Amino acid sequence: MSLRNKVTLIGHTGKDVEVYNFENGNRKANVTLATNDYYVNAHGERVEETQWHNLVAFGKTVEILEKYVPKGKEIAVEGKLTYRTYDDKDGTKRMITEIRIEELVLLGSK
């Protein structure tokens, strides 16, 4: 197992899983994940900071996400950081950063 390009996150999903079906039978799932961090500011107040991450999955992981992961579900993921570009509806080239899920653990209550 390589330690290169490895991301581990624990957080709550920010929306329902979006599943895409391709003509060749492959499937892809997208979902956002919120992770929270805390720090104490100069005034001694505890401040919460939320980071949003784009997750993408393929294969059997799509089925698990689709069946067991609603909006707000706490999950742990391990995967790879990936970058891709696309053209938006106005024809502007955009770049997106995603975590490609390799391992998924369902946490929290049902």
pLDDT, position 4: 85
* DSSP E strand boundaries for the chain: 7-13, 18-21, 27-40, 46-58, 74-87, 93-106
- Helix or strand holding residue 66 (H, E): helix 60-68
- Beta pairing partners, 98: 82
What six digits make up the tokens of 3? 């330690």
Tokens 């996400």, residue located: 65
Query: Diameter of the chain by CA atoms?
Result: 57
Using 50, 70 and 90 to split pLDDT, how confident is the model at 109? Answer: low
pLDDT tens track for 79-99: 999 999 989 889 899 999 999
pLDDT, position 30: 96
Task: Compute the distance between CA of residue 104 and CA of residue 92 in angstroms, rounded to an integer.
Answer: 33
